[in-house]
Structure 1
Amino acid sequence: MNTPAILFEDAEALVINKPAGLPLDRPRAGGRSLEDELEGLKLNFQRAPAPVHRLDRDTSGCLLLARNPKALKRFAAAFEARTVEKVYLGIVDGRIEQDEGTIELALSKVSTAKDGWRMIPARKGKPAVTHWRKVAEHAGRTLVEFRPETGRTHQIRVHAASGLGAALLGDPVYGDGKGAPRTMLHAAVLRVPRDGKPSIIAAAPFPTDFTAAGFEPEPTPPDDV
């Protein structure tokens, strides 16, 4: 696997285009992970960069890495304060009637010996909010833009399945896992504000497997992206 493409770079931050299928942590069964790429992402710095947030193994797109501990702390605080803007694209397995909306479903983690762990909508769970809009339809599937306001584990995946009523294509946990070799979710845009410096702004190219599924990127991005 080639070193992930760099979408943004300065003295304290990198944003890479994480490939689908690359986990952040070393799998128990072995195999490559982001840890194997960090040495090659030093780029003449003494210290290897560290991921600030998480993307699921199957999720492609913008991943922010901090190049020093102080930057890591500041960026993590920005995510915690919800000042970071994140835009995802996902292909859901079904048609969506509305053009846009907001999903507010609190999430809680459950675990069973048979199925392992997963997130479920739960009244007493942690608040989770996702704004969405329909981008395109093709062959009974819908390309949806998601703008999560919160950053809960598996938030978009659960909100698609339980909020939109159509799971992400290929999702083996919240859908049937069919129709695609991976969960079709892509971190398309990331904007991180910084005090006294220009914001970090990165956009990841439209995935080729999304194109193969019959979808194309929008001709002109919305002005607020």
Structure 2
Amino acid sequence: MTRDWKVLHLDEHLIVLDKPSGMLSVPGRGDDKYDSLAVQVAADFPGARNVHRLDRDTSGVIVMARDAETHRQLSRQFEQRETDKRYVAIVAGTILAESGRIELPLRKDFDHPPRHMVDQELGKPAVTDWEVEARYEDSTRLSLIPQTGRSHQLRVHLQAIGHPILGDPLYAPEELQTAANRLMLHAIELEITHPTSGQRMRFVAAAPF
């Protein structure tokens, strides 16, 4: 796989990258899914390891630690929701409200892996805040702020309210899967506290759509 990722920030403790759509964050099962951002970055920066993940088809800001202590500190920030994340997406249909909140519990869809699903009884709490950035003829551009970090959260939440993300191969109906040349979801901003300096740092990767 080509090295389409970009370095947004680099110091002795961490590396922040702009991951392209279509690239795994970490190796998957099987030799054909070994190539990934984690493998490529570690080849150039030995010791680099993932702290969090983006879905294969989601692009944008992702941070990796370059040593064990940084990994521990950053992992704690993500687990305790001390990070701030913002995404942009283009979804099907026109959303008339200017902003809102989606609160729907999620779990794995064991009958249809790797999909996830809303489950009011067995799902884990999941919260997504959204705000309209622009309206087009048959779609809407949203700014998304996840308050929790469930797998596929943004994709499932938007599908659940009737506005699946364009180009989503898992959650959009077929005609909307082909309405874009990629999943129209991008991690545009990430804010963390540097584990050594204690400085609050904000990283931005411009949306490619």
TM-score (norm 1): 0.84
Structure 1 gap segments, 5+ residues each? 211-225
- Tell me, what secondary structure is at the counterpart of 1:26? coil
C-alpha contact 1:169 1:184 (8 A) present in aligned 2: yes
Matched residues in 1 for 2:82 and 2:124: separation? 18
Aligned twin of 1:167:
164
Aligned twin of 2:21:
20
Aligned twin of 1:30:
32
Aligned residues: 201
C-alpha contact 2:91 2:166 (8 A) present in aligned 1: yes
Aligned twin of 1:137:
135
Aligned twin of 2:3:
2
C-alpha contact 2:187 2:205 (8 A) present in aligned 1: yes
1:122-167 CA-to-partner distances (Å, cap 9, x unmatched) read 112100011110000123111100000100000000111113x200
Matched residues in 1 for 2:44 and 2:204: separation? 18
Aligned twin of 1:93:
92
Instruction: Note the aligned Cα RMSD (angstroms).
Output: 1.6
User: 13-22 vs 188-197, which deviates more?
Assistant: 188-197
- Tell me, what secondary structure is at the counterpart of 1:57? coil
C-alpha contact 1:23 1:33 (8 A) present in aligned 2: yes
Aligned twin of 1:186:
186
Aligned twin of 1:219:
none
Query: Which runs of structure 2 are paired with 1:72-221 in the superposition (5 Å)?
Result: 72-112=71-111, 115-124=112-121, 125-163=123-161, 165-176=162-173, 177-194=177-194, 196-207=197-208, 210=209
Deviation at 1:193, TM superposition (A): 2.1
1:8 counterpart letter in structure 2:
H
User: What percent of counterpart residues are identical?
Assistant: 35
TM-score (norm 2): 0.90
Matched residues in 2 for 1:86 and 1:18: separation? 15
Deviation at 1:173, TM superposition (A): 1.3
Structure 2 gap segments, 5+ residues each? none
C-alpha contact 2:83 2:192 (8 A) present in aligned 1: yes
Matched residues in 1 for 2:137 and 2:16: separation? 33
Task: Pick closer, same or farther for the CA change 1:41–1:201 going to 2, 3 Å.
Answer: farther
C-alpha contact 1:191 1:201 (8 A) present in aligned 2: yes
1:86-119 CA-to-partner distances (Å, cap 9, x unmatched) read 000001011111110111111011222xx43311
Matched residues in 1 for 2:11 and 2:182: separation? 32
Matched residues in 1 for 2:21 and 2:169: separation? 15
2:127 counterpart letter in structure 1:
V
C-alpha contact 1:16 1:62 (8 A) present in aligned 2: yes
1:104 counterpart letter in structure 2:
E
1:174-208 CA-to-partner distances (Å, cap 9, x unmatched) read 1122211321100000001246521232100221x
Aligned twin of 1:222:
none
- Tell me, what secondary structure is at the counterpart of 2:116? strand
